[in-house]
A = this chain, B = another copy of it.
């Protein structure tokens, strides 16, 4: 992956916030310094950065968000303001524990384990 100015700025933007930004938000930010960037460039570079393991892709319902924190961690998603809060889920996922520890009224826990099923050796 050779150097590109656009990608470098995109990386810096992702690293500058804890807000788990979307491609669209990042597009708005980068246009402040590079008004001619294309939204496609933002998407392409976010994908490349995620593929390289430099940033992390997190799926928030139907939209993709990005996170500079590539350590394994989970999220609380507020269904009022939409904010995503980083958490470390302990060995026991206990709704009640999360509720008091993070002062968060859990209404739904979504757990998806992604990998390869036994049909593929």
Binding site for B on A (CB under 8 A): 58-64, 72, 74-81, 83, 85, 87, 89, 91-95, 98, 103-120
Contacts and interface: CB of A to CB of B under 8 A. Distances in A.
A113 B113 contact: no
| Residue among A105, A108, A112 having the largest count of chain B Cβ atoms under 10 Å | A112
| Residue among A64, A77, A80, A113 having the largest count of chain B Cβ atoms under 10 Å | A113
B89 A91 contact: no
Contacts of A78: 115-117, 119-120
Nearest to A94: B91
A107 to B, nearest CB: 4
A55 to B, nearest CB: 15
Nearest to A74: B111
